[in-house]
Amino acid sequence: MLGTADGRTVKIGRTINVAKRVSEIQSMSPTPLRLLWSHPGGHELETNLHRQFSALRAHGEWFVFTNDPLPLIKWAVANEPWQQPRVSLRKRRPRIVRPTAEQRRAGREAAVAQAVELDPALVTAVEALITAVQAIEDPTEHYKATYEAEARVKAALKERQKVIANGLRDQGRSWREIGELLSVSSQRAYQIATGTR
């Protein structure tokens, strides 16, 4: 390990002939250099030290430390921190498992089947209304009764749709999801739930 006079800028490298290598590098350097420390090791140790201190790399094999580099480099050579498992301090995001298209379709079908389950009282009331309308013999009165029955059934079904949409909303579903389940837009799903249209 070669360093400048202040000892903060160092070159971490390897060589077979230390004296010759120091002389070669000194001849290319505008500042005086000195041998700070040497230790037996080859290419693998040099590479690991470069990786260990990569955040301090100035360029090539030159590193700039804020403190005395000698204790840090000696510690790294003795303890080989690159052999230790890496620990990430980043908070890991939970893995989101997204349902397949088939699972989404099955979920929609189950939700609609559950939501659309008809109220027996409503079915009984509609059947009674149809029976009463069919019993009217006068064609004009029959038509008027049919028209009124249709309006009453539409109002009852509209109220039932509102209950269904609000039930899906109570399950925590978004307006977009409710719209997909009911085969309408998210805006229309909101209108059904609030009875605004």
Give tens-digit pLDDT for 79-118: 888 887 766 667 777 777 777 778 777 766 666 555 556 5
Helices (H), the chain: 18-28, 43-52, 69-79, 101-115, 120-134, 139-170, 175-182, 186-194
Q: Where are the beta strands (DSSP E) in 41-94?
A: 57-59, 62-64
54, 105: one domain = no
More confidently predicted of 131 and 111: 131
Would residue 96 count as lying in a domain? Answer: no
Would residue 41 count as lying in a domain? Answer: yes
Phi, psi of 191 (to 5 degrees): -65, -40
pLDDT band at 4 (very low <50, low <70, confident <90, very high): confident
Close Cβ partners of 62 (under 8 Å, ≥ 6 residues apart): 9, 10, 11
Helix axes 101-115, 175-182, angle to 10 degrees: 80
Q: Using the 8-state DSSP alphabet, how is residue 96 labeled?
A: P
64, 32: one domain = yes
Split into its structural domains, the chain has a count of: 2
pLDDT band at 61 (very low <50, low <70, confident <90, very high): very high
The pLDDT of residue 126 is above 90: no
Share of the chain above pLDDT 70, in %: 88
User: Which of 51, 83, 115 is where one domain is finished?
Assistant: 83
Q: How far is CA 120 from the centre of its chain?
A: 44
Q: How far is CA 148 from the centre of its chain?
A: 54
Would residue 149 count as lying in a domain? Answer: yes
The pLDDT of residue 120 is above 80: no
Would residue 94 count as lying in a domain? Answer: no
Give the bridge partners for 3, in sequence order.
10, 34
SS3 134: helix
Rounded distance, CA 139 to CA 13, Å?
A: 107
65, 147: one domain = no
Would residue 93 count as lying in a domain? Answer: no
Domain interval for residue 38: 2-83
Whether 118 contacts 159, CB under 8 Å: no
68, 112: one domain = no
Q: What is the pTM of this model?
A: 0.43
Q: The tokens of 108 are what?
A: 């929609």
105, 179: one domain = yes
SS3 35: strand
77, 130: one domain = no
119, 184: one domain = yes
51, 108: one domain = no
Q: The tokens of 30 are what?
A: 């505008």
User: Which of 35, 54, 83 is where one domain is finished?
Assistant: 83
Would residue 91 count as lying in a domain? Answer: no
76, 107: one domain = no
Would residue 161 count as lying in a domain? Answer: yes
Would residue 95 count as lying in a domain? Answer: no
